Amino acid sequence: MQVVMIGAGYVGLTTGACLAEIGHSVICVDVDAARIDALNRGEMPIYEPGLEELIARNRTAGRLHFSKRGASAAAEADAVFLAVGTPARVDGDADVSYIETAASNIAPVLKPNAVVVVKSTVAVGTCRRLREIIADGRAGLDFSVASNPEFLREGSAIQDFLHPDRIVIGADDRRASARLEDLYQPLAERGVPIILTGTANAELVKQAANAFLALKIGFINDVANLCEKVGGEIEAVARGIGLDKRIGKDFLSPGPGFGGSCFPKDTRAFAAAGRKYQAPQALIETLILENERRKIALARRVLSELGDRPQGASITILGLAFKANTDDVREAPALTMIPILQGAGVTVRAHDPQAMAAARLRLQNVSFFDCPYSASRGADVVLVLTEWDQYRSLDLREMSALMKGKTLVDYRNLFTPGEVTRHGLRYVCLGRPASKLPVGAAIVARGGKKRKLALGAPSRL
């Protein structure tokens, strides 16, 4: 099938490459000419494991092309996917102006019987609205608009596309459903369940799925807080909860608050829809507030590790991306926490295996290092914010020797308390009792002054 993908961002690029991989002929289009030129030179505009190889293979096979000319590409397509950005507006609702512009741009050139497929996450009712826009721009054209939400996680997007739990097809007519069923036939043959429903339902599935997953994270973060107070251990509790199949074991890892391009934006849009249609989403409204409060509270908790005068201390951040295996820093906890630390007079040094270029554009007065050990030299506190495998295998003996202070704050629970304290480090993690200060580490020398840290104080949140 001839497919055009309008928008070569994370979603469009990955989906386009994967559709080529399952046998379709795909042209990815973007208004960013530099991005298309780079892709045509074989350069990747984003970091996504396996994507470079996938794109190279499908370009060589002649199934994947990149173009700046959206209109001429769309004129030949059986399915035109819209995968452009839908950033949050001030009221939380998704701004659909880019997708509406893309729809009106392709209206004059669409071929008869074309199906326009909305991939971007949009508010319920957007497909109907796009149908009107295209019909206005092209009187008499016989076409369809469908919804086909993506459930790709950054960092494992290719795997998620090729082995999804389900494919949701939102279509309000037979042509649209048949076209998308044909498109996904190679995956359906492998047993992937296909959910065929109307466009409004498909739009709601996407928003509600992300809202529910985000709720799971908010819930486990709250349980982790309680564990810290009562001496519980979050991993044991999460396992005990998650083995109940009705709950499920995924998305029960405590962390510094969810971030990324989807959960924060989609929960805000879901809450905005609830307000707009007088169907309040009170759980989600609370979740949004609590998730932001958590990032702030956890930054303050790091400061409290420095006693009552953090000025002049040096904190090393390990992990700037909102999660591992991506270079994306959108709504990353690091972006909220670093300015709070700096506001208290702390000097911030940072490392991330992939996200430093993006972080440099959004942070000021941070020293970036290519290696986590150099970044940690002389640090009073090392703070782990992203669960990169590289950090799991850090040599804690070396870290301890390099650091000036002796506190490792781990907001991803990458280590066990025993292995950290064995190397003379105090360990602060989530949902487990705080470790006692190792012998001899109670006095931290900084700026010539010696101060005593609170011994094994229960974590404050």
- Which amino acids are annotated catalytic? 262
**406 with 426: CB under 8 angstroms?**
yes
Minimum separation from the CB atom of position 258 to ligand UDX (A): 4
Q: Which helix (H) or strand (E) holds 372?
A: helix 372-376
Cβ proximity of 86 and 96 under 8 Å: yes
Binding residues vs ligand UDX (CB under 6 A): 150-154, 210, 213, 217, 251-253, 255, 258-260, 262-263, 322-323
Residue 107, SS3?
A: coil
Q: Which is nearer to ligand UDX, 77 or 211 (CB)?
A: 211
Q: What is the chain's percent helix, strand, coil content, to nearest 5?
A: 40, 15, 45
**For ligand UDX, which is the closer residue by CB, 67 or 159?**
159
Q: Rank residues 121 and 144 by Cβ distance to ligand UDX and give the closer one.
A: 121
> Minimum distance between the CB of residue 227 and ligand UDX, rounded to whole angstroms?
15
State the nearest-atom distance from the C-beta of 26 to ligand UDX, in Å: 20
Which of residues 11 and 103 has its CB atom nearest to ligand UDX in the complex? 11
Q: How far is the CB of 400 from ligand UDX (least distance, A)?
A: 26
Which H, E and C letters describe 131-175, residue by residue? HHHHHHHCCCCCCEEEECCCCCCCCCHHHHHHCCCCEEEEECCHH
Alpha-carbon distance of 146 to 128, in angstroms, equals 9
Question: 177 or 210, CB closer to ligand UDX?
Answer: 210
> Toward ligand UDX, which CB reaches closer, 18 or 306?
18
Q: Which helix (H) or strand (E) holds 445?
A: strand 443-446
CA distance 316 to 391: 13
Shortest CB 49 distance to ligand UDX, Å: 12
* Least distance (Å) between residue 345 CB and ligand UDX: 28
What angle do helix axes 199-230 and 282-304 make, rounded to 10 degrees? 40
DSSP letter at 404?
Answer: S
**Pick from 416, 414, 420: nearest CA to 441:** 420
- Coil, strand or helix: which one is 280? coil
